Chain A
Amino acid sequence: MPNLKEVKNRIVSVTSTQQITKAMKMVAAAKLRRAQEAITQMRPYAQKLNEILQNVSTAQVETPFAEQRDVQRVLLIAVTSDRGLSGAFNANIFRRIRILLDEELRGYQAQGTLEVMPIGKKGLEYYRRRDVKSNTTFSGLWPNLSFDEARRTAEYAMDGFLEKRYDKVLVVYNEFKNVATQIVRVEQLLPLLPAEPATNTAAANIDYIFEPTKEEIVTELIPKSIKIQFYKMLLDSRASEEGARMTAMDKATDNAGELLKELKLTYNRTRQAAITKEILEIVGGAEALSNG
């Protein structure tokens, strides 16, 4: 039979764990809201930029960012989180990259021409311990994420592409679908994939004055568009992280509740058994006395 005191101690410890997971869930919920707000804040900028790009994209411009080269060196940006306790959030990223390294990018990995650039402490720790060439320049991006920080990282990759240090830049990140669902995505940041033809024909008919010229505007806007694309991935990842943490902590709280229920049952059973035993002893003792 379990020791009464031991069971009681476990109940106390599970209760406090449950309080922690509950608090973490609420903190994650608040942070998720802020992360979603950041996405909402970024949207008007991204939309307008796209609109303007479509208006000028009738001009055929050769941008160096779209140059298709024979791929020699690959940069793989792995967007992970700084903190754990968020379910399979980071593990999903690592698993996806493992598959990439074993399959599509196998040759580059073998030749050592593939660099993994982890963003976030979890990725940093993971790739430090592994046989992967890693680039840790921007691993500490999260604490004060702003567009400016994201821009620097994107510019690093873009400069690397222009200077032919990388021929291809991929980003692996968690896309935010909803609070409970994150989708791991692999997206090609560079070279730029050919843009879809403009669908917005109404806007294309407006007779704009272009200053300085259409071509120069396109040349200036394309890097901006790459940067905002990258920023969006980071914001998505941050919202996903908090969503994943919220779900994980919600599950943990539920599990703790179930465990508590069982422990309380054990506790009460044990207690009752002890009382019954005691009564039996007293009755037995009294009977022995009266019989004597």
Chain B
Amino acid sequence: MFLEIITPDRRVFEGEVDSATFPGAKGSFQVLTNHAPLISTLAQGRITYVSKAEGRRTLEVDGGVVEVLNNKISVLVERLISE
């Protein structure tokens, strides 16, 4: 499935991933292929994803929102705390 992480200043990541874990507002959750459509807000915390090209990567974010639809995950983040 396809993951894109965008901030207002730039596109932080886009590419195929096997799984992605998000710091949801009510606790961490993982998204795998064929996940049902979802819109969730994020709390401050770590986003971890397993990219097909780059392997496991982790980002720390200040909160945001994620949408999962038809194997496409879009993450909107206002501010990255660390990459």
The residues of A with any CB-CB pair to B shorter than 8 Å are 38, 41-42, 44-46, 48-49, 51-52, 55-56, 146-148, 151, 206-212, 216-217, 220-221, 224, 227-228, 231
Q: How far is the CA of A148 from the CA of B67 in the complex (A)?
A: 23
Chain A residues in 8 Å Cβ range of B39: 52, 55-56, 208-211, 217
- Give 16 A-B contacts (CB < 8 Å), ordered by A residue: A38-B9, A44-B4, A44-B6, A46-B8, A48-B74, A56-B39, A147-B7, A207-B36, A207-B37, A208-B39, A209-B40, A210-B38, A210-B39, A211-B39, A221-B41, A224-B76
Identity of the chain B residue whose Cβ is nearest the Cβ of A209 in the assembled complex: B38
Given contacts A45-B76, A209-B40, A211-B26, 16 further A-B contacts (CB under 8 A): A42-B8, A44-B11, A46-B8, A48-B67, A49-B76, A52-B76, A55-B67, A147-B7, A151-B79, A209-B36, A210-B40, A216-B25, A220-B63, A221-B65, A224-B65, A224-B76
Which of B26, B36, B39, B40 has most chain A Cβ within 10 Å?
A: B39
A-contacting residues, B41-83, CB 8 Å = 41, 63, 65, 67, 69, 74, 76, 78-79
Asked whether B38 lies within 8 Å of A146 as measured between CB atoms, the reply is no
Asked whether A217 lies within 8 Å of B41 as measured between CB atoms, the reply is yes
- State how many angstroms separate the Cβ of A53 from the closest Cβ of chain B: 9
Query: A45-B6, A220-B41, A224-B78 in contact; A211/B65 too (CB < 8 A)?
Result: no
Chain B residues in 8 Å Cβ range of A51: 67
